[in-house]
Each structure stands twice: as C-alpha cells, then as structure tokens.
Amino acid sequence: MEFRQILGKILILCGFIYVMTRILITGASRGLGLEFTKQYLDRGDFVIATCRQPEKAKELEKLQKDFGDNLEIEELDVTSEKSKEILYQKLLDKSFEINLLINNAGIISGNEKESSSFGELYKEDFNKVFQVNSVSPILISEKFLPLLKNVSEPKIVNISSMSGSISNRTRSGGYAYSSSKAALNMMTKTLSNELKEMEITVVAIHPGWVKTDMGGENAPLELESSITSIINVIDSLSIADTGKFLDWQRNEVQW
C-alpha cells in the first residue's frame, strides 16, 4: 500500500513506468509460495494466490488486508480436475489474463512430512507424490494456458529441485520426491518444446536448500533470499531461455 505508492513515485521521478505483472501461484499458503506472494505484492504486482484450504490460510488473509484488490485468494487442489475447472471458469468470467504461472505446489512424501526409507516404500506414497509434483504442473499449465496466450512475454515456471538432477545424484533415499522432480524436469523440457512457437517461456528452477517446513531448520538458505533471487531470475528470462533447468542464482543445472 504505502510502499507501492512510494515505489510508484520513485519510478515516475526516475522516468520509469512500472507495468504490473499478473501472477498465478499454486501452493501459496506457506513456504516458497507464500514468500513469492509477499514479494510480488510488495513490488506492486497482482497475485492470484491458490491453495487447498483458503479458509485456513491466515497469512494470506493478513496480506489481503494490506494489499486489497492486488491479491486474489482462490481455492485450488492441484490434483482435482473439478477444482481446476472451477477456478479456470472463475478467472475466465472475470476476464483475467496472467503473465506468469508459478507451479510451486509440492510435497516431500505421501504423508507430506517425511520420506519413507528403502524397505518401507509404498505404492500409494509414490502415486500421491507424482500426482502433486509431476503430473499436476503439466495439467495446470494445460488448463490455464488460454490465460497466457495474449499477454506480453508469458512465462511458466516449475519449481523443481536439485534432487531431480540425475547427473548430480550422489545420495540414497528420497525415492518418491527425487524421481517426481526428475519427471517434472522432463515435463518442463517437453512443454517448452510444445509452447516455443507461441513464445511462452517454460523453465524449471531449483530454489536451493531453503529453510521451510519442507527444507527444515538446517537448510543454509533463508526463504526471503531464495525468493528474491528467483524473482530476479524470472524477470531476466526470455524465450531464449526456454527449456532450461536453472537454480536461484541463474546457474544452469545438469539434468
């Protein structure tokens, strides 16, 4: 609010006109998704923040009070076809277009808290992790693609992980999570080929090992720092970057 007014005056005085970016973020009620929401709102952008249970998203409610019409909080279960359809129709009815889709929603395991060790692996665990981490981002991208078609420099960003890099794999464990991120990387690369002629940039980004509920307290990278860096990377992307696997510092990561 006040911050945006000050920022706007500074930009005008410096001869710049800031064009608001419109962003759809999945998994926006906590962790990386919540921090993306905060930082994009802080700089004056419009955010559609989605999560499974908006009524329990207290941090998003606080942001709504501060940023008003610049924040749209919507229900979205990324694994539910009905949920996706309801949100898509709602945005279509409001004539919303988006410049950026961030497929951020993800889980570490079937119980969403800790990975199962070898010897205690379950098919159901793999099914749930792959549905959320690998399948949902491509289906979300497919569903909301019409909202990206008529904007300037549209981008799709899939939040991946170094754990999905087969070339860099040196440790054991984390079977479901790591393989789901490797699958997401393939989805990203393939989608980038699909949408290149439309000039829609599609990339996978590794956010670093970040202090979140998923990353844990021992993670070396602060949440705010990671997201600030990722936003800078996203801002710098062009169609020449489509199909890349990057980290939060814009280094290319081996597949």
Would you state the pLDDT for residue 221? 87
The first and second tokens of residue 72, run together, are 């749209």
Count helices and strands in the chain by DSSP H and E runs: 8, 7
Asked whether the predicted pLDDT for residue 12 surpasses 90, the reply is: no
Q: Are strands 100-103 and 245-247 parallel, antiparallel or unpaired?
A: unpaired
Q: Per-residue pLDDT tens for 130-139?
A: 999 999 999 9
Work out the average pLDDT over 179-184: 98
pLDDT at 2: 44
- pLDDT bin (cut points 50, 70, 90) of residue 197 is very high
| pLDDT value at residue 111 | 61
Catalytic residue among 88, 122, 175, 177: 177
- Alpha-carbon distance of 108 to 113, in angstroms, equals 6
Q: Which of 10-19, 34-43, 111-120, 140-149 has the lowest mean pLDDT?
A: 10-19
Closest CA to 117 of 164, 161, 162, 171: 171
For residue 101, the cross-strand partners are 24, 156
Residue range 157-180, pLDDT digits in tens: 999 999 999 998 888 888 999 999
Structure tokens at 25: 């973020």
Domains and CATH numbers, the chain: 2-247 (3.40.50.720)
Average pLDDT, the chain: 91
3-state helix, strand, coil in the chain (%, to 5): 50, 15, 40
Active site residue 122: no
